[in-house]
Amino acid sequence: MKCSICGKNVKDKNVRMLDGKSFGIECWKQAVEEKREAGLDVWKLKQYQKTLLFVEMLRMKDMSKIKNQFKLDFVSSMVNQFDLKGFVTKKQKVIILGDGERNQFGFVNAGWLNNKDYFNLEKLADEHKVKVYPVI
Ligand SMILES: [Zn+2]
């Protein structure tokens, strides 16, 4: 991948993301610093990074076995929304991640993710040195 500031090639494991752009580590630090100086607070930035990894994980998700059209549409429209507008609502995240609450029939709302999705999410978080939990 190329760094969007200096144009150098960056090894996959060193790529850092911000606002949908890729950076090498040094340029990313600079971009984050500029964003901080521009007045966006650190908490918001961290929330944003968590959402970014959440969306990246969904992009990696194997949707080929999902037959439920509502789920397919929901995930793809949410990813599109993030790409266009840069946010995902808490409600949208809860639908995918679940909230552990029981419904009237006693079933726990465990969300739509499988072990592989959680593994991918942790791997991305590791690579980007971002803590993703709690995701919401
Ligand atoms: Zn760079």
pLDDT at 128: 84
In contact, 46 and 128? CB cutoff 8 Å? no
pLDDT at 103: 83
Gap from CA of 33 to ligand 1 centroid (Å): 14
pLDDT at 136: 61
Gap from CA of 69 to ligand 1 centroid (Å): 40
pLDDT at 18: 84
pLDDT in tens, the chain (136 residues): 899 999 999 998 888 888 888 999 889 888 888 887 776 677 777 888 889 999 999 999 988 988 999 999 999 999 999 888 888 998 999 999 888 888 888 888 888 999 999 999 999 988 888 887 766 6
Gap from CA of 23 to ligand 1 centroid (Å): 6
Report how far residue 10's alpha carbon sits from residue 22's, in angstroms, rounded to the nearest whole number. Answer: 9
Gap from CA of 62 to ligand 1 centroid (Å): 31
HEC string of the chain?
A: CECCCCCCECCHHHCEEECCEEECHHHHHHHHHHHHHCCCCHHHHHHHHHHHHHHHHHHHCCCCCCCCHHHHHHHHHHHHHHHHHCCCCHHHHHHHHCCCCECCCCCECCCCCCHHHHHHHHHHHHHHCCCCCCCC
